[in-house]
Structure 1
Amino acid sequence: MKHTLLLWLFVAISGMTAYAQTRTIKGKVTDSKDGAAVPYATVRIQGTNKGTATDLSGNFSIDISGTQTLVISSVGFTQQTVKPDNSNTVNVSLVADNTLTEYIATGYINTNRVKKVSAVAEVTAEKLANTPLVDINQALQGQAAGVFVGGASGQPGSVQNVRIRGVGSISASAAPLYVIDGIIVDGRDVNKSGDLALQSNDLLANLNPNDVETINILKDAAATAMYGSRGANGVIVINTKKGKTGVTTFGARAQYGTAKPSFGKSDLLSPAASYAYNRDVLALNDFTPAEIDAEFPASLLATGFNWRDAGFRTAKMQDYGISASGGSEKTKLYISAGYNDQEGTLINSGLKRYTIISNVSQKVNDRLDIAMNLNLSQGDARSAMGGNYYASPLLGAYFVSPFQSPYKPDGSLYTGLESDFNAASGDNFLYSVYRNDKKLSNFRGLGGATVSYRIFDWLKVQERVNLDMVNTEANLFYDPTTGDGYNAADPLKSGSVYNQNVKASTVTNQFSLSGNFDIGEEHQLDYLALTEYNRFKSRSFSAEGIGIIGSDLKVLDITATPQAVGGNATDYTFLSYMGQLNYSFRQKYNLSVGFRTDGSSRFGANTRYGTFFSVGASWRLIEEEFMKSQEVFSDLKLRLSYGQTGNADFGTIDNFVARALYDYGTSYNGAPGNAPNTIGNVDLTWEKNKSFNIGLDLALLKGAITATIDVYQRKTDGLLLNTPVSSTSGFTTQMANIGSLENKGIEALISSKNFQDKGGFSWTTELNIGMNRNKVTSLFMGRDVAGANSTQLHRVGHPVQSWYLNEWAGVDPQNGDPLWYTADGKTTNNINLAERRIVGNSQPKFTGGLTNTFQYKGIGVSVFFYAVTGNKILNRTRILGDADGAYFGYGYDKLTAENYWRKPGDIADRPKPIPGGNKNANSALSTRYLENGSFLRLRNINLSYSLPARWVKAASFTSVKLYAQAANLATWTSYTGWDPEQDISAMEFFRYPPSKSITFGANINF
């Protein structure tokens, strides 16, 4: 009996073991949102290399042993762990990962994230919400690796310079192309000719950041080749919000804040310190005590005035908006209206913006879809005169005595023209800034209509018409009683009025065939074939009159003498053909091939058409069998791309440079006629950009850490440059395609979920960093090309816009003379004997951003740092403010009084100050004023609180969010100027300073 029981026990155990080794689990993986099948999801036995993938219907089958656990994952979803029960059936509903969206909008076509082969950076609406913005370009600063954003001015609405992966041209535009809701727009300064009236006029400042859903930055050829001759410098695709299926929701927002100017480490010398400095300088130059007392008596100490502080203010900012979003399965709608009013910190400057947007889509039936989008905006800006005008507080504060009051004894303001007003410029800017005026008004209308019809499941026909319309007006007024308006030679010609109007429109017509289909269960094809016609038309008119007597009206009619009337017209067209084919095998191996042929009327008759191409591939290693057993990586993909794009944007080059042009309105012997002014080039064509990119996308520790790393090289050939021609032609130069340059670098984006507990606390980090190296690789006969100004140079083997300056050698300790280095390395006190050389790079070598976000239930905190390093800035503001006595008696930078030479043997930083100037030491452009431009800035802090649901529901709202934001709180830098954040020129000359701001706001949905 005992042996029988042991036998039955052995049989039972053996049966259990056999059962544990042969269990088959079947199931289906679906999307929790709509129940749709999730194909190609990975189903793996935890702790082993054994796994399978779901089929097109989301079904799977896998053998497990006993109570083994299954791990189910798919890109775009949160990974789930499931322990099967005794039913042998497991159905899993995956929840979408909110950090990823299924598709990336690239303008012409939406790219599936899993099958992506290109380098694309994304800035989402959530990131935009954490920064108090007026200009959409500011949203990109520090948010995307390899993207440099620098402002030429702190003026609200001013132009922001954006460069993607370095500078790609010398004389043509290096700015990226902008696409808003599928509409190619001109995102540059509306002024292409350098006209004063339209400078610093950024049309993108009219776009309301609150209406933006995503910003996608296309970097490599696989992403930009679809834009052909306009994609060389990268493409920024902006998508506004669209309606979503569900109950219509309404939103309202309100924001209010204040801003103060930030002058960095720079400051004016106080009146008391100026008094002491002036007296000491006179004593050093052998003035007697009596002469010193006559020039600077003690009574001046009672009349000190801080002119720079008087030119600035605490500015108010306010922003309001309402929106509605919703729809059914057939109709979706998003509408929004906004108002923004931002005062400038500089007195009498600011920007008001009005926006309306409407996006509507209608599914007429199962095959026919219609969509319309309309974006209207009006921007009204007022700005003080620029840095070259004494009427501006930016410059004027340095050219008036700190002991001079702006007010007369009776309390009225000096005009600046009075003989008893002590100013080098003959201007009291506190008077001029309100009497003179500079107004800019921009209206922009963006509209598009799309009709698409699905003939078959694999074929869709689409017709789209887009319109981009711009109307810009500029009005300048110089009061006759101000220093800039007064004409001393002929007082009757004092005062002037200048008006300019620019109307521009771009009409685009697109016709496309597109579709996708599966070949069996493992092969997928997507395709797009498109033809596009694009026409740009611009007309401008300007008029100026002088001579104003006794009128405060600021119109041309009040002027006595017509001074100038001008106008111009620009027209050009593009005709394009494009095709793209994407292939995927089980979403593991992906291939994309594209081409575009562009024809442009801007180029020579022999070269008006060009073809551009790209090829890209990606390999999802995570799907390979050899990756199944590891648990470190939850996603791993390798990307490669190569292609060629073009640059058809001439920038400030004449739009008709390919043609032989003539000047009209000239005369010869009193007879009207015309004369040639440009020699044409029928072979002139676009600059070509060849780009190679290798990238790696990965996720670690079940998605706790994700990273995107790219290494790139972009070579630009056929640079548009002036080349010498025979003098027998009657000209000295001709525009031609000659020269090349190179950009190469590394980019990385790393995101981590540092901590998350069941109590509702979480901490996430996002770090992006970009490194770029730029150099000129060839020029005409190897000759140097002068930069935009005499201080910069383009030379083979060196970066674009390298600094080309005399090298500062310090101060002679024996006599206090300024010293520079000569060609043989010796020193000289004669600037004319010094040798200029390349002494630094104006472009940053590294840029980066770091964001830490903390959440606890309804409380959120976001902290954002921005950094730039490796560039040098020419501080021309110091050249005038720290001038060794050249502008003696007026405003000084506080550095002026630090460590200047006083006696033989002194080891000083500054030469001996001499009233009127020290052998041009102040104005000699040298490395004395070239400074390290590296900085780290606490760009933004955002604190928010979402009210509890029970409170919100009681008030009949769906959500209420309160927040406070602070911008530019602190900057760490060695730069001594106003601000190390510069535009691409890296030159500061009384630039409108940035501001430190704090804002409070509320977002309400109901």
Structure 2
Amino acid sequence: MKLKLTWLLTLFMAFVMQFSFAQEKTVTGTVTTAADGLPLPGASVIVKGTSRGQQTDFDGKYSIQVNQGDVLVISYVGMKPGEVLIGAASTYNVALEDANTLDEVIVVGYGTTTKDAFTGTATKINAENLEAKTVSNLSQALKGEVAGVNVVTGNGAPGSSATVRIRGFGSVNGNQSPLYVVDGAPYNSDISSINAADIESTTVLKDAAATSIYGSRGANGVILITTKQGKTGTSKITVDFKTSINTLFLPQYDVIESPEEYMEVSWRSLVNKGALLGQADPAAWASANLYGTPEGINNQYNIWDAQGSDLINPSTGKFNPGIARKYTPTKWSDAAFNTSYRQEANVQFSGGNEKTRFATSFGYLDDQGYAIKSRYTRYATRINLEHKAKDWLTIGGNIAFTGSRYVNSSDAENEASSSGNIFALTSTTPTIYDVYLRDADGNRIADPIFGGYQFDYGGEYGRRAWTNTNGIADANYDLVQTDVATVLGNFNVGVDFTDYLKLELRYSGQYNDEDYASRANPFYGGSADVGGTLFKVQDLNINQNFLQLLRFNKSYGAHTVEAFVAHESTENRFKRMGAGAQTAILPNTLDLAQYTTPFGKAYSFTQGWTLDSYFSQLNYNYDGKYYFTASVRRDGSSRFLNDKWGTFGSAGLGWVVTSEDFMANSGVLDYLKVKGSYGVIGDQGTNLQYGWQLYNINDTADGSYSFTQGATLANPDLTWETSKIAQVGFESTWFNDRLDLDVDYYVKNTTNLFFDQSLPGSSGSANIQYNDGKLQNRGLEFSANYRLLRDGDFKLSLGVNGEMFENEITEMPNDYLTGEPKVLDGRLSQGKSLYDWYMREWAGVDPASGAALWNMYYDDVDNNGVFSPGDEKIGSMTIYLDENPNANVRKTVTDTYTDATNKYVGKSAIPKVRGGFRLNTGYKGFDLTAQFSYSIGGYVYDSGYARLMENRNLIGSDNFHTDVRDAWQQPGDITNIPRFSAGYSADTRFSGTSTRFLTKADYLSLNNVNLSYTLPKQAVSDMNLTNVRLFVSGDNLMMLSARDGLNPATLISSTNSGIYMPMTSFSLGAKIEF
């Protein structure tokens, strides 16, 4: 019996095993693209609910063991995932759809949505477009990419940030900058701390429906940055590296390069001065005063083998050709600028399964500027992790560390008058001066301390240009350095109560530590008399953000409702400490303990702010055609005292017209969505303490202390600036998906503007800030992308974007003290923009005398049509007409600058249209892209050019633009350039601020060209790689403007010869995927 039972049990087990093996089988198939049937090598094939899986081979084929009833999940980057239920068949071919053909998912405030459902304006920048550019700071890469986004590259130093403005100028004195949001959390640190190689997508939010959910922080637009995440079913290693040459390539001002020509210009200037002084023989007087007199240049700087009086032929005004140089001065630009190098390398590991996704990266950057000793280095690492711990619980987060150093670049935007500014120095220093100190025979003098040759600081021999300084020496011997350590951490938890109700929690912390040091050497320059100086500042910025959000998302037939309610708290704390010392023990150290004598007074302070917010949003969709969005947010800010809380919100409507039945056979129109929105947004962008009264504690010589009221008088009623924003627009696709065309029109009215009012001395404070006045920005934006060729091996597309906007002060503030309407001379007036020009009007040059002329307006009291005794000169047109609205205003000309009238000149810095365009071409594995920016209309004040046309100083003080060749020389000359007269007192205002230097701001710039080649799949597969792309690129390659050296993109309304001009980079690199 026992043997029989054993035999039966063995038979049963064999049957069960046979049945089990009969259920498991091998299935095969091919994964292809749905659009063209091409195989997809490297596609992920996983048995759902398990970790079993594999990748397709080069031909897109797979083979896998499965059981009947299993589900295969097939995925590929850039494709919509597919699922296959295993039945009796043994072959399952799968065609995946391109994700771009689906309803595009876009990142928006506190979540994601689809292109159809979004009623606002959000522009997603392709990661490939940013990746093509060689930049160390993301803000620099935004130039020309998005309609309505103006990027001003005021400082081209390595690692520097650009100024970004979205849809005009949102305030007069308050905040105008957009809010950056990184992985869902508001970002308050230096944007250069984010490695561009870690960025998956960048989205710009512009209208109220898009930004109002961020409340007071979204008033000037929002830039959303999402970093790279791992993909389910894939495991990938990506390595990219790039090496570049950095140089000053864009055209500079045309200046006098020849020392001989400089002396000719100086001689003619002295001739004119001699004539004005009544000299009997102005030419002889000029020759006698070129060198060695109070009018002339120190003989030490005579670089020729001749006396100064013999250099110029008085009959021709030309340099005598037979005179040789003792030496040729070193060009200041050659000593200040050179070709440098940039090295960048990044590696990323990413992957995931159904439970866990991860991405981790490390990046290194060494960006050397073309200006000597300027440099930016950065080490960056990041890890992103998401894990589905339970079916109902998801946890995740990311943490990033960036360590960076700016050397001699963070102060590069100093004013042109600052002593160490090599950018102004190279263009304005006369070419007769050498960079290095020379003896009486013209030989360079050896430097016994640093080696090489001593630099000429100008003090020993009375050099008139840049006396007692040498910016090139400062760059070599001194140091300006900033070390930055940034830690970012986002941690989030998602709890699914049901399939339609979810709780989201997120904590974000940002820690930013900046250590600034400025060291001047003890041997040469301005600190030599005190034995060297060291000044150090440490800034510590800590920002914390905590979000709790409950989200509901459910469909009811044709109705879909998505809504959330949330609370968010933000706290910022800022600490600064600073101290300085002089007389160095060890001259090359950055340790204050190595200096014997403190200078100034060490200081420190702590400040901060908090923002508490309650908000909600409702999104409604009916039948995939009609969309409605509404949001409301209540913010409480610690910056305000009596009126801390503001309530803001928006509503938006969208209609996908092409989803209607009557559009089923629409022909050329493939997609059309019309949309509109209206919202109210506040801005807390005032100084942290203007609502509170501050007092200064001062020590005195006798050891006692005094308390003084702060410079700004507290205004406890200070409150939010408020913007009401309306928008209408449409998004469309035409001609069988060949043309995308989007257009938006907006009006933004801002009230309760922050204005400053000067106070009388009896108040104990200098000024007070208050709310008043109204400002309007209105504009039209467009974006178009046309795919001319998209089928076959050759592809060609063209994209263009632009904005046309106007800015207007619709109501001036009332005077805080009198309550009367405020009138601001030469800056602002009702009905004009923030960037209209107020100045004296240039009227040309008097042909008889060569004197400069300006327009003088006067009140013709006696109405005789000419300026006569009893008529009133008008100094400021704005103020005079405010006080005398019925004045009989007439115009004449004057050669006295101070008599000319300051007035609105009918011109603005705001262009008629500006934007960018992009050309993309491809042939098989080759791709070529070119990206441009343009601006049409508007005027810029060319202060860099004005400085090169100065006439207020003695000879030897300034270099000149080559336009000085056309200056007036004798009676009857017809020219627009007045006489040069070597600092003659009556002529010193010839280059004063006037419309003479207002220049058309039109420009066309070539920002980037990138040529790449992607190796064939078969060749890559043979190397056990997934993808290999090689590329060469160039950045900042061209600037066409009204004048060489004029770069209207560097400042909003004027130019400056003292800024670090944009750097041109030529790059070679590769991106390899395993």
TM-score range, shorter chain: 0.7 to 0.9
Q: In structure 2, give the amino acid aligned to 1:278.
A: S
1:896 shift after superposition: 4.5
- Out of 468, 471, 478, the position equivalent to 1:429 is 471
The equivalent residue for 2:407 is: 382
- Write out per-residue CA displacement over residues 653-693 of structure 1, whole angstroms, 9 at most, x where no aligned residue: x3110112212226699742312224322221111111001
- Write out per-residue CA displacement over residues 178-209 of structure 1, whole angstroms, 9 at most, x where no aligned residue: 1011110125xxxxxxxxxxxxxxx1112111
The CA distance in 2 between the partners of 1:324 and 1:620, in whole Å, is 40
3-state SS of paired residue (2:1058): coil
| Residue 360 of structure 2 corresponds to residue 335 of structure 1 | yes
The equivalent residue for 1:967 is: 1035
The equivalent residue for 2:23 is: none
Contact between 2:109 and 2:213, CA under 8 Å: does it hold in 1?
Answer: no
Q: In structure 1, give the amino acid aligned to 2:457.
A: G
The equivalent residue for 1:882 is: 949
The equivalent residue for 1:567 is: 604
- Out of 796, 802, 808, the position equivalent to 1:769 is 802
3-state SS of paired residue (2:525): coil
- Out of 871, 892, 904, the position equivalent to 1:838 is 904
The equivalent residue for 1:278 is: 266
The equivalent residue for 2:776 is: 742
Contact between 2:672 and 2:730, CA under 8 Å: does it hold in 1?
Answer: yes
Question: Map of 1:531-546 to 2, 5 A cutoff?
Answer: 531-546=567-582
Question: Map of 1:77-96 to 2, 5 A cutoff?
Answer: 95-96=97-98
Contact between 1:805 and 1:838, CA under 8 Å: does it hold in 2?
Answer: yes
Question: Map of 1:621-636 to 2, 5 A cutoff?
Answer: 621-636=657-672
1:96 shift after superposition: 3.1
1:265 shift after superposition: 4.7
Question: Map of 1:915-954 to 2, 5 A cutoff?
Answer: 915-917=982-984, 919-954=987-1022
Q: In structure 2, give the amino acid aligned to 1:432.
A: D
Contact between 2:213 and 2:632, CA under 8 Å: does it hold in 1?
Answer: yes
1:785 shift after superposition: 6.7
The CA distance in 1 between the partners of 2:196 and 2:823, in whole Å, is 40
Contact between 1:392 and 1:433, CA under 8 Å: does it hold in 2?
Answer: no
Deviates more, 1:815-824 or 1:211-220: 815-824
The CA distance in 2 between the partners of 1:961 and 1:601, in whole Å, is 51
The equivalent residue for 2:560 is: 524
The equivalent residue for 1:463 is: 505
1:976 shift after superposition: 4.4
The CA distance in 2 between the partners of 1:885 and 1:830, in whole Å, is 14
The equivalent residue for 2:693 is: 660
Percent of residue pairs bearing the same amino acid type: 28
The CA distance in 1 between the partners of 2:201 and 2:929, in whole Å, is 19
The CA distance in 1 between the partners of 2:153 and 2:1058, in whole Å, is 14
| Residue 974 of structure 2 corresponds to residue 907 of structure 1 | yes
1:1000 shift after superposition: 0.5
Q: In structure 2, give the amino acid aligned to 1:1000.
A: L
Q: In structure 2, give the amino acid aligned to 1:510.
A: L
3-state SS of paired residue (2:982): coil
The CA distance in 2 between the partners of 1:291 and 1:583, in whole Å, is 84
- Out of 539, 545, 550, the position equivalent to 1:508 is 545
1:127 shift after superposition: 1.1
The equivalent residue for 1:16 is: none
The CA distance in 2 between the partners of 1:281 and 1:544, in whole Å, is 45
Are the structure 2 counterparts of residues 718 and 978 from structure 1 closer, same or farther at C-alpha, using a change threshold of 3 Å?
same
Are the structure 2 counterparts of residues 924 and 229 from structure 1 closer, same or farther at C-alpha, using a change threshold of 3 Å?
same
Structure 1, unaligned runs of 5 or more: 1-29, 36-75, 79-90, 188-202
Contact between 2:805 and 2:913, CA under 8 Å: does it hold in 1?
Answer: yes
- Out of 375, 379, 394, the position equivalent to 1:350 is 375
TM-score (norm 2): 0.80
The CA distance in 2 between the partners of 1:360 and 1:915, in whole Å, is 69
Q: In structure 2, give the amino acid aligned to 1:404.
A: Y
1:475 shift after superposition: 0.5
Greater Rg by CA: 2
Q: In structure 1, give the amino acid aligned to 2:978.
A: P
1:97 shift after superposition: 4.8
Are the structure 2 counterparts of residues 557 and 810 from structure 1 closer, same or farther at C-alpha, using a change threshold of 3 Å?
farther
Question: Map of 1:503-902 to 2, 5 A cutoff?
Answer: 503-519=540-556, 521-548=557-584, 551-563=587-599, 564-604=601-641, 606-650=642-686, 654-665=687-698, 671-677=704-710, 678-723=712-757, 729-731=763-765, 733-758=767-792, 760-781=793-814, 783=821, 793-823=827-857, 824-839=890-905, 840-884=907-951, 886=953, 888-902=955-969
1:952 shift after superposition: 1.1
Q: In structure 2, give the amino acid aligned to 1:382.
A: V
The equivalent residue for 2:124 is: 122
Contact between 1:666 and 1:675, CA under 8 Å: does it hold in 2?
Answer: no
Contact between 2:44 and 2:234, CA under 8 Å: does it hold in 1?
Answer: no
3-state SS of paired residue (1:256): strand
1:369 shift after superposition: 0.2
Structure 2, unaligned runs of 5 or more: 1-33, 38-42, 46-77, 81-92, 275-281, 291-306, 312-322, 447-452, 815-819, 858-889
Contact between 1:841 and 1:871, CA under 8 Å: does it hold in 2?
Answer: yes
The CA distance in 1 between the partners of 2:773 and 2:987, in whole Å, is 39
The CA distance in 2 between the partners of 1:276 and 1:949, in whole Å, is 67
1:731 shift after superposition: 4.7
Contact between 2:399 and 2:490, CA under 8 Å: does it hold in 1?
Answer: yes
3-state SS of paired residue (1:527): strand
The equivalent residue for 1:990 is: 1058
The CA distance in 2 between the partners of 1:403 and 1:811, in whole Å, is 29
Are the structure 2 counterparts of residues 990 and 922 from structure 1 closer, same or farther at C-alpha, using a change threshold of 3 Å?
farther
3-state SS of paired residue (1:394): helix
Contact between 1:268 and 1:308, CA under 8 Å: does it hold in 2?
Answer: no
1:639 shift after superposition: 0.4
The equivalent residue for 2:454 is: 413
- Out of 103, 111, 120, the position equivalent to 1:109 is 111
Are the structure 2 counterparts of residues 304 and 296 from structure 1 closer, same or farther at C-alpha, using a change threshold of 3 Å?
farther
The equivalent residue for 1:438 is: 480
Contact between 1:402 and 1:891, CA under 8 Å: does it hold in 2?
Answer: no
The equivalent residue for 1:139 is: 141
The equivalent residue for 1:256 is: 243
The aligned length equals: 895
- Write out per-residue CA displacement over residues 382-437 of structure 1, whole angstroms, 9 at most, x where no aligned residue: 12653332333212235644223233424512341552473532223332221121
1:876 shift after superposition: 2.0
3-state SS of paired residue (1:877): helix
Are the structure 2 counterparts of residues 556 and 976 from structure 1 closer, same or farther at C-alpha, using a change threshold of 3 Å?
same
Q: In structure 2, give the amino acid aligned to 1:104.
A: I
Q: In structure 2, give the amino acid aligned to 1:529.
A: V
Q: What's the RMSD between the two structures over aligned residues?
A: 2.6
The CA distance in 2 between the partners of 1:913 and 1:222, in whole Å, is 58
1:949 shift after superposition: 1.4
1:773 shift after superposition: 0.6
Are the structure 2 counterparts of residues 734 and 947 from structure 1 closer, same or farther at C-alpha, using a change threshold of 3 Å?
same
Are the structure 2 counterparts of residues 401 and 725 from structure 1 closer, same or farther at C-alpha, using a change threshold of 3 Å?
closer
Question: Map of 1:153-168 to 2, 5 A cutoff?
Answer: 153-168=155-170
The CA distance in 1 between the partners of 2:970 and 2:186, in whole Å, is 65
The equivalent residue for 1:44 is: none
TM-score (norm 1): 0.85
Contact between 1:137 and 1:160, CA under 8 Å: does it hold in 2?
Answer: yes
Are the structure 2 counterparts of residues 843 and 469 from structure 1 closer, same or farther at C-alpha, using a change threshold of 3 Å?
farther
